[in-house]
Chains A and B, each alone.
Chain A
Amino acid sequence: MTAPAVVPRRTLRVLGTSITLLELIRRRAESDLGFAISFEVHNFVDCQRRAALEPAAYDIYDQCFHNMDIVWFWGSLQPVDTFRITDWDMLSGLTREGGINRYASRGHGDQPVRKLYVQPGEALGPAPSRYISMLPTVHNFDSFGYDPRVFGAVGPHRESWSWLLDPRARGRIAVVDEPGIGIFDVALAAEAAGEVKFADIGNMTVEEIDSLMRVLHQHRQQGYFRAIWRDGEEAANLVRNGQVAAQSMWSPVYGELGETAQHFVEANPIEGWRAWHGGMSLARHLSGAALDMGYEYMNWWLSGWPGAVVARQGYYMSVLDRVREALSPAEWRYWYEGLPAEVDLPGPSGNIVVKAGARRTGGSYWDRASRIAVWNTAMDEHNYACRAWERFVRQVRGEASS
């Protein structure tokens, strides 16, 4: 008698960014779930373009809530049924309810809760429903990094976003190029510096965008900007080569600075953090067995181990209790509770990224989550802002290369 035929399950194709699509996560997911998984990694802008325009090319879309307005409304995704998410009830209130508690600042712009629930007529909104656009997963509260030798030693709560446009750092400033993120770094800077005033920084008017761009171009003409970076690797190189004194930063980059880490620290800005929230969505074409695989993969992400991996590069996960079980007590106390590291702590790949005695900027998860200034956002005038931003980026790059 021959052995029963084993029909191999198809490959689950995940489209996303380098934030979560780590090779060690892919391998572990394959072995835990028993089917092949492929990761396709792009930067934010290319990723959302592919998600919107080529919906048949992927099964899971792993990205951020602030581009739901684009990908969801393009009709490329299908709602996620929360009845099929085993640990849905364990998800943090930050996304499900809009804040970690009633008193935490909600922040301007695209709060994830406003893009979370599928409303009648397929719109997205904050009114709870069984179906959601994206399963909330990885998130963080970002600021900028700076060189304390340039800005001097400061006490708690003295750093300000205005340092991203500060004369002391002139010629040695860089910002991230993704418009839904970079614009808010410089907008927070320009408002903190008293150069512009926004009625709602999360939904700027055309006039406000024009004023912001005028400020940026003035600074550009005076040679303030060294670079506009596209990914963490570029950002790390700018610091390692001593080319920047203040720049936009992403959390994992701090672990990649090597010897220069002591001269480049994360700010805890008095104005608050720029927050973002990632998640996973299902491609519209999924059905039957392929759809089941999608749910298996999403549920696996909430199981604790993946959240522990991303915690080691500074990211938080929507299921806190599960992550706590998967981290060592020392790791949990450093990354989530904001307490001094008791021992040297490893990053995702095992190298030491936190020295014993170090303390996470901004304190605990709950401290940081209570001080959100603005979320990464696709504003109403997103198209107008992006086109203006692209012109600015082109000019800075042109000057940097000439």
Chain B
Amino acid sequence: MNARSPQPPMQKRYELIAGVLRLNITTGKLPAGFVLVEGPIAELMQSSRAPVQAALRILEGENLIHRFAGRGFLVGPKGSGVPPIRQGIRDLDLQISVEIDEALQSRGTWELVYDRVEEQVASCLIFGEFRIVETELGDYLGVSRTVVRDVLSRLHERGLIRKNQSSHWIAGPLTAQMIREKLAVRAILEPAALRLAGAAINYTEVETLRVRLAAGEEIEGEILEAALMEHCIARTPNRELVGLIGNNQLLLTAANRALTGLGLPRDRVEHGEYRTLFDLLSRHLVDSAAEYLEGRLRILAEKSLARLKIVAIITQPSDIAPFLTPK
């Protein structure tokens, strides 16, 4: 594990973006029916698409925006029936508070480019093994060697790249074995942490989620997973355990996002599974919930392997980032 840990305590990028959008929806600057698409928002916020996606999902979870038949989201709660307004987001002159603007700007240089690089690396893993040459990455990003090294060590920490015997940085390949092993670790650690969390679980949040799910609200899997982690599993008093769980999930999350980005279908049954989980937890049946979670993670392993088989039919895109050289 790399010793360098350059992350200062600050709000995550997707939270900052969600904050800007939320503020502008509440003040009416972003009118009901306005079509929010990732690309232009990412450009405006000087960000990659991943945090914008996460921000949009948060706002969807808060019922401030909703999906529609087209690409992107419409401002306003679900079922409001307003016609889509298609307009450039820059034309709206959004309100971005000085603090947030600074927070978005003042992040370390490596952080400005990191998300984009992570996205590109994660999406190449299924196509095989790639070498990353430091100088090529530097040229591509237009940044110094120091910044490149910060980016690479972060990718290394997250398990997205490794060094081979000749000290070259290597990304991929993502194999069924890696997915199987990481999910097996999840099935061991996460139910154990949930049991240990016991009384420390945030039952107020659990009840809120249970009610929303019972009302038939469509909350996305990634949001539910994050909520389960934050309000239940990560409430365990053992900080070391929380760290292990977080690290183990990093590669899975990055790979999963990349697969969804390739157009793979979403899981249609996970919604019901989370409903059962939050239901058990809201009744303080922590042991039962932990047992259920373990079973769910074992099934998830099977599903993830099937998902990885699917990608065999996807031809390697021609626009893989130039700093990734196929081995």
| A interface residues (Cβ-Cβ under 8 A, vs B) | 45, 48-49, 52-53, 69-70, 73-75, 121-123, 179, 205-206, 378-384, 386-387
Q: Is there contact, CB below 8 Å, between B299 and A121? A: yes
Is B159 located at the chain interface by the 8 A CB criterion?
no
Q: Is there contact, CB below 8 Å, between B177 and A52? A: no
Is B265 located at the chain interface by the 8 A CB criterion?
yes
Q: Is there contact, CB below 8 Å, between B176 and A381? A: yes
B180 nearest CB neighbor, chain A only? A380
Q: Is there contact, CB below 8 Å, between A380 and B127? A: no
Report the Cα distance A110→B313, complex, angstroms.
18
Is B308 located at the chain interface by the 8 A CB criterion?
yes
Q: Is there contact, CB below 8 Å, between A69 and B306? A: yes
Q: A-B contact count, CB below 8 Å? A: 65
Is B71 located at the chain interface by the 8 A CB criterion?
no
Q: Which of A49, A122, A206, A378 contacts B269 (CB 8 A)?
A: A122
Q: Is there contact, CB below 8 Å, between B175 and A73? A: no
Shortest distance in angstroms between B70's beta carbon and chain A's nearest beta carbon? 18
Q: Which of A73, A381, A387 contacts B177 (CB 8 A)?
A: A381
Is B321 located at the chain interface by the 8 A CB criterion?
no
Report the Cα distance A387→B299, complex, angstroms.
26
Report the Cα distance A384→B176, complex, angstroms.
8
Is B4 located at the chain interface by the 8 A CB criterion?
no
Is B302 located at the chain interface by the 8 A CB criterion?
yes
Shortest distance in angstroms between A293's beta carbon and chain B's nearest beta carbon? 26
Main SS class of interface, B = helix
Q: Is there contact, CB below 8 Å, between A383 and B177? A: no
A389 nearest CB neighbor, chain B only? B312
Shortest distance in angstroms between A398's beta carbon and chain B's nearest beta carbon? 16
Report the Cα distance A122→B303, complex, angstroms.
10
Given contacts A52-B313, A69-B306, A122-B269, 16 further A-B pairs with CB under 8 A are A70-B309, A70-B312, A73-B303, A73-B307, A74-B265, A74-B310, A380-B176, A380-B177, A380-B308, A381-B177, A382-B176, A383-B126, A383-B311, A384-B176, A387-B173, A387-B312
Q: Is there contact, CB below 8 Å, between B309 and A383? A: yes
List which B252-298 residues lie within 8 A (CB) of chain A. Answer: 263-265, 268-269
Is B305 located at the chain interface by the 8 A CB criterion?
yes
Q: Is there contact, CB below 8 Å, between A384 and B313? A: no
Q: Is there contact, CB below 8 Å, between A52 and B269? A: no
Report the Cα distance A383→B124, complex, angstroms.
13
Chain A residues closer than 8 Å to B128, beta-carbon distance: 387
Chain A residues closer than 8 Å to B310, beta-carbon distance: 52, 69-70, 73-74
Task: Tell which of B126, B263, B306, B312 has the most Cβ of chain A within 10 Å.
Answer: B312
Chain A residues closer than 8 Å to B175, beta-carbon distance: 206, 381, 384
A387 nearest CB neighbor, chain B only? B128
Chain A residues closer than 8 Å to B173, beta-carbon distance: 384, 387
Chain A residues closer than 8 Å to B264, beta-carbon distance: 74
Q: Which of A45, A49, A123, A380 contacts B299 (CB 8 A)?
A: A123
List which B130-176 residues lie within 8 A (CB) of chain A. Answer: 173, 175-176
Q: Is there contact, CB below 8 Å, between A48 and B176? A: no
Report the Cα distance A387→B268, complex, angstroms.
29
Report the Cα distance A396→B312, complex, angstroms.
20
Chain A residues closer than 8 Å to B303, beta-carbon distance: 73, 123
Report the Cα distance A381→B306, complex, angstroms.
10
Shortest distance in angstroms between B264's beta carbon and chain A's nearest beta carbon? 8
B176 nearest CB neighbor, chain A only? A380
Q: Is there contact, CB below 8 Å, between B268 and A382? A: no
Report the Cα distance A121→B292, complex, angstroms.
14
B127 nearest CB neighbor, chain A only? A387
Shortest distance in angstroms between B103's beta carbon and chain A's nearest beta carbon? 40
State whether A121 and B269 are in contact (beta carbons under 8 Å apart), knowing that A73-B307, A380-B305 are contacts in the complex: yes
Report the Cα distance A53→B263, complex, angstroms.
9
Report the Cα distance A122→B176, complex, angstroms.
21
Chain A residues closer than 8 Å to B309, beta-carbon distance: 69-70, 73, 378, 380, 382-383
Shortest distance in angstroms between B252's beta carbon and chain A's nearest beta carbon? 16
Shortest distance in angstroms between B128's beta carbon and chain A's nearest beta carbon? 5
Shortest distance in angstroms between B261's beta carbon and chain A's nearest beta carbon? 15
A386 nearest CB neighbor, chain B only? B312
A381 nearest CB neighbor, chain B only? B176
Chain A residues closer than 8 Å to B308, beta-carbon distance: 380, 382-383
Shortest distance in angstroms between B277's beta carbon and chain A's nearest beta carbon? 14
Report the Cα distance A48→B313, complex, angstroms.
8
Chain B residues closer than 8 Å to A45, beta-carbon distance: 313
Shortest distance in angstroms between A51's beta carbon and chain B's nearest beta carbon? 9
Chain B residues closer than 8 Å to A122, beta-carbon distance: 268-269
Report the Cα distance A381→B312, complex, angstroms.
10
Chain A residues closer than 8 Å to B299, beta-carbon distance: 121, 123
Interface string of B225-269 (1 = CB under 8 A from A): 000000000000000000000000000000000000001110011
Q: Which of A52, A75, A378 contacts B268 (CB 8 A)?
A: A75
Chain A residues closer than 8 Å to B176, beta-carbon distance: 379-384
10 smallest CB-CB distances across A and B, nearest first, come from A380-B176, A386-B312, A73-B306, A383-B312, A382-B309, A75-B265, A49-B313, A381-B176, A387-B128, A69-B309
Q: Is there contact, CB below 8 Å, between B177 and A205? A: yes
Interface string of B299-327 (1 = CB under 8 A from A): 10011011111111100000000000000
Report the Cα distance A47→B268, complex, angstroms.
24
List which B173-194 residues lie within 8 A (CB) of chain A. Answer: 173, 175-177, 180
Shortest distance in angstroms between A121's beta carbon and chain B's nearest beta carbon? 5
Shortest distance in angstroms between A295's beta carbon and chain B's nearest beta carbon? 24
Report the Cα distance A206→B264, complex, angstroms.
24
Report the Cα distance A381→B310, complex, angstroms.
11
Q: Is there contact, CB below 8 Å, between A179 and B312? A: yes
Shortest distance in angstroms between A394's beta carbon and chain B's nearest beta carbon? 12
Chain A residues closer than 8 Å to B127, beta-carbon distance: 387
Chain B residues closer than 8 Å to A70, beta-carbon distance: 309-310, 312-313
Chain A residues closer than 8 Å to B313, beta-carbon distance: 45, 48-49, 52-53, 70
Chain A residues closer than 8 Å to B126, beta-carbon distance: 383
Shortest distance in angstroms between A241's beta carbon and chain B's nearest beta carbon? 31
Shortest distance in angstroms between B275's beta carbon and chain A's nearest beta carbon? 14
Chain B residues closer than 8 Å to A387, beta-carbon distance: 127-128, 173, 312
